[in-house]
Amino acid sequence: MAKNKFNKNWLHDHINDPYVKQAQKDGYRARAVYKLKEIDESEKLIKPGQVIVDLGCAPGSWSQYARNKLAGKEGGGINGTIIGLDMLPMDPIADVHFIQGDFREQEVLDQLEAVLEGRKVDLVLSDMAPNLSGVAITDAARVEHIIDLAIDFARAHMKPSGALLVKCFNGTGFNEILGKFRQEFKTVAQKKPKASRDKSSEVFLLGKVLKNPS
């Protein structure tokens, strides 16, 4: 009974959510786009000519936003390169290279390298989150693991001057994750966009400029 009530409450909140309505109006696939939009507008992350990788990109609203920011090239297309990676399928987005698979696997990395053509990445985006169990210590470990993967990916593929933006949760294990970011990046900022739900402990970490590029 309680679960049904929770689902109904969630559905009611979701249907009446101004960001859900705005996403539908603007043609975006998810309300999450406005989190990236707010962070991008304050930090000027996305610029023409960049190579951008969107980790865990499905359903694709972050890639859509990045694509719109890089649009306007003469004759159509975009000024830059966007690569989306996800284990889940994603409907195509114009001018976005989508690779389905686990980016820890060589086959997927080979596809990535084929698109990069020897270039390094300017910006790595990750809205990835694990399936949460409700057990704080377990969930903290899962979140930390996903962020470790994003940091490892950035170290391997990003320009030393690049930036990494990841989704995190402010709770058990957060200080450890923040510490790792401070070890890896010269500047680290915590971002809580207005589009993050009030009840959510969600927070985004932005790291800029690798301290010890490989």
Is the pLDDT confidence value at 79 over 60? yes
Coarse DSSP helix, strand, coil percentages of the chain, rounded to the nearest 5 percent: 40, 25, 35
pLDDT of residue 2: 55
Write down the pLDDT at residue 200. 85
Per-residue pLDDT of 103-144, as tens digits, reads: 999 999 999 999 999 999 999 999 999 988 889 899 999 999
Structure tokens belonging to residue 89 = 């399928």
Distance CA 164, CA 58 (A): 18
Question: How far is 186 from 173, CA to CA, in rounded Å?
Answer: 21
Return binding residues: 60, 62, 86, 102, 127
Instruction: Report the distance separating Cα 7 and Cα 148, nearest Å.
Output: 32
pTM of the model: 0.92
Binding-site positions for S-adenosyl-L-methionine read 60, 62, 86, 102, 127
Residues with a catalytic annotation lie at 167
Among 10-19, 85-94, 200-209, which stretch is predicted with the lowest mean pLDDT?
10-19
Domains of the chain with bracketed CATH? 32-210 (3.40.50.150)
